[in-house]
Amino acid sequence: MSDFGPKAGMIGEARTMVTEENTALKFGSGTIKVYATPAMIGLMEKASINCVEGSLPEGFSSVGTKVEIKHLAATPVGMEVVAEAELLEADGPKLKFRITAHDGKEKIGEGTHSRYIVKLDEFLRKAESKLS
């Protein structure tokens, strides 16, 4: 695999509103109506995708392989959460990001995320082969 296009220093962002649908209570990851950790991780992954997806050749995508985060503060229903991803390393198909999330008042999450660039048709063919 050669140079795919993503370069260290690229930034991506993703936003969402905290609603009843993305609370810890709804996800089953807690018993309180505050922004769920799994929802925050998903938003951080989306920011990472937004960071690099436009720089990948047609027919390629990236898949998440590792997430290490700290959920630092609770966010109530009604607030907006913004996740940001900065590409720290691009080593061929291996990508590593610094990820953060803020709710307008404070940083609510931080950590790192790794993704791997895949050729979409080959990846899907291998995944779907599990069905046969």
pLDDT, residue 36, reads 98
pLDDT, residue 5, reads 84
Instruction: Find the catalytic residue in 45, 84, 100, 113.
Output: 45
Domain tally for the chain?
Answer: 1
- Residue 1 domain-assigned? no
- Residue 19 domain-assigned? yes
pLDDT digit string (tens) for the chain, length 132 residues = 445 589 999 999 999 999 999 999 999 999 999 999 999 999 999 999 999 999 999 999 999 999 999 999 999 999 999 999 999 999 999 999 999 999 999 999 999 999 999 999 999 999 999 999
Tokens for 53? 């997806």
pLDDT, residue 131, reads 96
20 is catalytic: no
pLDDT, residue 87, reads 98
- Residue 62 domain-assigned? yes
Write the burial class of residue 79 (CB in 10 Å: 0-12 exposed, 13-18 middle, 19+ buried).
middle
Instruction: Give residue 69's domain range.
Output: 11-131
- Residue 5 domain-assigned? no
pTM, whole model, 2 decimals?
A: 0.94
Do residues 102 and 110 make contact, with C-beta atoms less than 8 angstroms apart? no
- Residue 75 domain-assigned? yes
Report the C-alpha gap between 51 and 7 in whole angstroms.
10
Do residues 128 and 71 make contact, with C-beta atoms less than 8 angstroms apart? no
CATH code, domain carrying 29:
3.10.129.10
- Residue 79 domain-assigned? yes
Tokens for 56? 């990948």
89 is catalytic: no
- Residue 18 domain-assigned? yes
Report the C-alpha gap between 115 and 3 in whole angstroms.
15
Report the C-alpha gap between 86 and 93 in whole angstroms.
16
- Residue 2 domain-assigned? no
Distance of CA 77 to the CA centre of its chain: 21
102 is catalytic: no
